[in-house]
């Protein structure tokens, strides 16, 4: 009798629980829908650059160049050394290792330098995924910039004075960017032609391809009779590499499905996180979308949010190991320690996070964005497992950024669960393709593909030593 009664009670209780649970899911959906409607979100970022198919001949040529060590001064590095599709379009390291790797073909967390060489790349390698959607600038400090305005149309690069048009930049930000890693000493150039100007180095690298790459360029530029002088130029190299990168469009996210009406595409936790993400701090939200705006999740502006400054930096500040970001480009004091707001699409797979790669978990970077001062104060250096990163100036450097005017106030109203819900939401911004070797295979050359000079880098996984 007693047990029947308690069963009945349990039944009634569970009925009423599921009823409230259902109600609250509906209210959560309503609340979130009203936010996303207000913000006119569609889940589909818009691009002003071309988005070629990876199957197009130009992107195929670009892929081979992206994977070729022939473009590095000492034949030991390729773009893919730091931007592999299986590593989120990055390298899984806090700070990259370019030239002088112990084994140049090992990519990921076990990539290491030959003994005696220090880590010299000062910033984390961002993902190349969806790079075509940036309209204003590339690099953490925006030093490749669209300067189209009433008087000039063009692209600024570090080869010219600030806000001047670099006539050799090429057609898009992505092409303009691709001309710089090959002349960066720590990334790809090494000791090659150390006294020469950037453009001389680029021409010399192009010259190397003239023997063996003619057929590849003829195919890539659909010009069967083209001659090597006309086809194999530093401009065409960056143009083709850009096509490969611009084909890396990974925007088919659960979040987009949700916006298109599939309420089951994301979890209740993620929906709660999304509400916080899109609600201002005044209204008890996390205020993320004030900077991570729109369908590409960025305002493409520069902000000082005091990510812990690890590594050797850019030679700034009292310690000479700090990095003042955008101010080094604009020379304006108010831009000190500002960095470009990055997209958050696929952010789950693009760690470590922040311009210095200081955060090695998505939850930790999210906590920083919610309460930066608290996060910097409690920063756990042991999360950086990568060897040989300079850590001893971190506190002092980061304090300089905070003192220069950090732009986010700690939000103390959010609970642990709130933070976890925001992380759940961030994970709905992952296109499942970026987690699947099979789906990514069009962006990775096959061992059987023609390798014109035998210099193609086939990345080996840090963990298994197998091909990535």
223-231, 281-289, 384-392, 458-466 -> range binding ligand HEC (CB under 6 A): 281-289
Nearer Cβ to ligand HEC (218/340):
340
203-211, 250-258, 351-359, 387-395 -> range binding ligand HEC (CB under 6 A): 351-359
Q: What would the DSSP string read from start to end of 58-91?
A: HHHHHHHHHTBGGGSTTS---GGGT-BGGGTTB-
36-44, 200-208, 328-336, 353-361 -> range binding ligand HEC (CB under 6 A): 353-361
Nearer Cβ to ligand HEC (258/353):
353
Q: Is 316 helix (H, G, I), strand (E, B) or coil?
A: strand
Which residues, numbered 30-49, are part of the site for ligand HEC (CB under 6 A)? none
419 alpha carbon, distance to own chain's centre = 22
In the complex, minimum distance from the CB of residue 10 to ligand HEC, in angstroms, rounded to a whole number: 39
**Cα distance between residue 340 and residue 323, in whole Å:** 13
307 binds ligand HEC (CB under 6 A): yes
305 binds ligand HEC (CB under 6 A): yes
Give the largest CA-CA distance in the chain. Answer: 95
Number of residues that bind ligand HEC (CB under 6 A): 51
241 binds ligand HEC (CB under 6 A): yes
In the complex, minimum distance from the CB of residue 18 to ligand HEC, in angstroms, rounded to a whole number: 31
Q: Which residue from 218, 271, 292, 336 is in contact with ligand HEC, where contact means CB under 6 A?
A: 292
**Cα distance between residue 174 and residue 79, in whole Å:** 13
Take residue 206 and report the two structure tokens written for it.
Answer: 């192009």
Q: Helix, strand, coil shares of the chain as percentages rounded to 5?
A: 40, 5, 50
Q: Which residue from 70, 251, 365, 406 is in contact with ligand HEC, where contact means CB under 6 A?
A: 365
455 binds ligand HEC (CB under 6 A): no
140 binds ligand HEC (CB under 6 A): yes
| Burial classification of residue 240, based on how many CB atoms lie within 10 Å of its CB (0-12 exposed, 13-18 middle, 19 or more buried) | buried
192 alpha carbon, distance to own chain's centre = 28
Report which of 289, 279, 304 is spatially closest to residue 376, judged by C-alpha positions. Answer: 304
Rg (the chain; Cα; Å): 24
- The contacts of residue 407 (CB under 8 Å, 6+ apart) are 303, 304, 305
Q: Which residue from 106, 138, 155, 389 is in contact with ligand HEC, where contact means CB under 6 A?
A: 138
316 binds ligand HEC (CB under 6 A): no
Nearer Cβ to ligand HEC (256/427):
427
Beta-bridged to residue 316, according to DSSP, are: 322
Which residues, numbered 174-213, are part of the site for ligand HEC (CB under 6 A)? 174, 177-178, 181-182, 187-188
- The contacts of residue 190 (CB under 8 Å, 6+ apart) are 72, 73, 74, 76, 77, 99, 100
128 binds ligand HEC (CB under 6 A): yes
**Cα distance between residue 183 and residue 261, in whole Å:** 47
266 binds ligand HEC (CB under 6 A): no
Nearer Cβ to ligand HEC (13/121):
121
Residues in touch with ligand HEC (CB under 6 A): 77, 79, 81-83, 96, 98, 121, 123, 125-126, 128, 131, 138-141, 174, 177-178, 181-182, 187-188, 241, 245, 286-288, 290-292, 303, 305, 307, 339, 341-342, 344, 347, 350, 353-355, 365-366, 369-370, 407-408, 422
């Amino acid at each position: 009798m007693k047990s029947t009664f308690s069963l009945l009670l349990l039944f009634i209780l569970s009925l009423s629980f599921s009823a409230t649970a259902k109600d609250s899911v509906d209210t959560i959906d309503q609340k979130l829908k009203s936010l996303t409607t207000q913000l006119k979100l569609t889940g589909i970022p818009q691009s002003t650059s071309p988005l070629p198919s990876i199957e197009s001949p130009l992107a195929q040529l670009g892929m081979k160049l992206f994977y070729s060590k022939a473009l590095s001064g000492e034949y030991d590095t390729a773009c893919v050394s730091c931007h592999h599709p299986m590593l989120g379009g990055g390298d899984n390291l806090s700070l990259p290792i370019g030239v002088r790797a112990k084994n140049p073909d090992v990519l990921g967390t076990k990539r290491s330098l030959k003994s005696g060489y220090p880590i010299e790349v000062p910033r984390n390698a961002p993902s190349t995924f969806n790079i075509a959607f940036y309209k204003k600038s590339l690099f953490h400090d925006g030093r490749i910039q669209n300067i189209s305005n009433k008087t000039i149309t063009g692209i600024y690069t570090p080869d010219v004075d600030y806000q001047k048009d670099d006539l050799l930049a090429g057609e898009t930000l992505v092409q303009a960017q691709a001309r710089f890693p090959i002349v960066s000493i720590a990334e790809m150039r090494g000791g090659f032609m150390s006294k020469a100007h950037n453009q001389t180095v680029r021409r010399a690298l192009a010259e190397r391809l003239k023997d063996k790459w003619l057929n590849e360029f003829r195919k890539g530029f659909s010009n069967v009779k083209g001659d090597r002088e006309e086809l194999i130029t530093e401009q065409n190299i960056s143009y083709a590499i850009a096509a490969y990168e611009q084909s890396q469009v990974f925007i088919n996210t659960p979040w987009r499905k949700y916006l298109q009406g599939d309420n089951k595409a994301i979890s209740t936790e993620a929906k709660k996180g999304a509400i916080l993400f899109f609600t201002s701090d005044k209204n008890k939200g996390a205020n993320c979308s004030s900077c991570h705006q729109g369908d590409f999740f960025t305002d493409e502006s520069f902000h000082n949010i005091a990510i812990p400054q690890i590594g050797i930096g850019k030679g700034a500040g009292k310690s000479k190991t700090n990095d003042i970001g955008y101010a080094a480009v604009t020379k304006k004091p108010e831009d000190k320690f500002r960095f470009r707001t990055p997209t958050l699409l696929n952010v789950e797979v693009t760690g470590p996070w922040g311009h210095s790669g200081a955060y090695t978990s998505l939850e930790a970077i999210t906590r920083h964005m919610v309460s930066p001062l608290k996060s910097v104060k409690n920063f756990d250096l042991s999360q950086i497992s990568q060897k040989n990163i300079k850590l001893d100036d971190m506190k002092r450097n980061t304090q300089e950024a905070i003192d220069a005017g950090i732009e986010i106030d700690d939000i103390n109203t959010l609970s642990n669960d709130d933070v976890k819900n925001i992380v759940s939401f961030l994970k709905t911004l992952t296109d499942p393709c970026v987690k699947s070797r099979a789906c990514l295979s069009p962006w990775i050359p096959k061992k059987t593909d023609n390798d014109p000079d035998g210099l193609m880098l086939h990345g080996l996984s840090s963990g298994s030593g197998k091909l990535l």
